[in-house]
Amino acid sequence: MDDDFDAALRQRYRVLDFFVSGEPLPAFLAGAAALPDPPRAAVVMGGAAARVDAALLDAVPSLGFVFSTGAGVDHIDLAECARRGVAVANSGTVYSTDVADHAVGMIIDVLRRVSAAERFVRSGLWPAQGDYPLGTKLGGKRVGIIGLGNIGSLIAKRLEAFGCIIHYNSRRPRDSVPYKYFFNVHDLALESDVLVVACALNKDTRHIVNKDVLEALGKDGIIINIGRGANVDEAELIRALKEGRIAGAGLDVFENEPKVPAELFSMDNVVMTSHVAVFTSESRSDLWDTTIGSLEAFFSGKPLLRQVLPW
């Protein structure tokens, strides 16, 4: 945890810190619940060290509020929280522009081979080997966005400035956008050169990019994942990359991160970052403000600005 945030939090509240406790989670929760004044709110850090489920809520029944610092809420059982009257809020759109910027950077990187050319220059090969192979133009590319929420919309807005044609899939078509809607991801992939995963992870979107979708994207297509690792069937993705059935990938998230399949390390048409799309120093500072604002709203009985509901 950030020192400034830690100080700001402790100035306002009594804080029980799992990360400094050194205890296993069950012992930490049991200790908290046994206090004469057990905790009423939980702040769950982005990396999802803990799942907020029936077991956790049973362990600390005094909880009335859960704030998640992450953008996704796939580690929180929203229905179970709702059933027990536990309010849930998250960081809302604090991260959205950072994720969108990173997604666009990865698209340019994969198409124009920036990181690959970087390795080429850095290893001193330029004088000996001459020109690096050409990349591909961004303008005119059809970009299919899976999930046109806040992040997806910001990606679309940025790519319009590069002359891209935007298509999308989401639970339902949006009236307010001029982009072409596809009812399913397979058809979206068929008409896309670049496929961007920008949806939340839930049971409907797990492996939403599967073998069939990769097949539909085709050998000139690239895939960008700034959603969750499990949105993509990683084994199938690696197979498609190996066999040249898709052209490349930009991945900020992985199914078993921080473990990254070693087969990807030798691929020059893949750009990988360590789940950093969501975060800059600026957004972290905004996040701490949002977290404290949410706790203050909860403890004073005011409306929660970024409440997450199970429906």
Stretch that binds its own copies, among 52-60, 103-111, 186-194, 302-310 (CB under 8 A): 103-111
Residue 70 makes CB contacts below 8 A (sequence gap 6+) with 44, 45, 46, 47, 48, 90, 91, 278
Q: Does 93 bind its own copies (CB under 8 A)?
A: no
User: Which residue, 36 or 124, has its beta carbon nearer to its own copies?
Assistant: 124
Query: Of these, 124, 178, 301, 303, which contacts its own copies (CB under 8 A)?
Result: 124
1 binds its own copies (CB under 8 A): no
Name the segment binding its own copies (CB under 8 A); options: 13-21, 22-30, 280-288, 302-310: 280-288
Residue 272 interacting with its own copies (CB under 8 A): yes
Interacting residues of 241 by C-beta distance below 8 A, sequence separation 6+: 248, 249, 264, 267, 269, 270
Give the H or E element holding residue 88.
strand 87-90
Residue 27 dihedral angles phi and psi, to the nearest 5°: -65, -40
Q: How far is the CB of 218 from its own copies (least distance, A)?
A: 17
Long-range pairs for 265-274 at CB < 8 Å and ≥24 separation?
Answer: 267/241, 268/113, 268/116, 268/119, 269/110, 269/113, 269/116, 269/241, 270/110, 270/241, 271/106, 271/109, 271/110, 271/114, 271/115, 273/102, 273/106
Nearer to its own copies, 103 or 213 (CB): 103
Minimal distance, residue 216 CB to its own copies, in Å: 23
- Closest C-alpha among 194, 202, 148 to residue 175: 148
Q: Which of residues 150-189 bind its own copies (CB under 8 A)?
A: 157-158, 160-163
Binder of its own copies out of 92, 105, 149, 218 (CB under 8 A): 105
- Contact status: 121 vs its own copies (CB under 8 A): yes
Active site residues: 228, 257, 275
d(CA 138, CA 192): 13
Q: Are 3 and 9 in contact (CB under 8 A)?
A: no
- Would you say 111 or 188 has its CB closer to its own copies? 111
Question: Is there binding between residue 273 and its own copies (CB under 8 A)?
Answer: yes
Report the interface residues with its own copies, using CB under 8 A. 97-98, 101-102, 104-106, 108-109, 111-115, 117-118, 120-124, 126-127, 130-132, 134-140, 157-158, 160-163, 257-260, 262, 265, 271-274, 276, 279-284
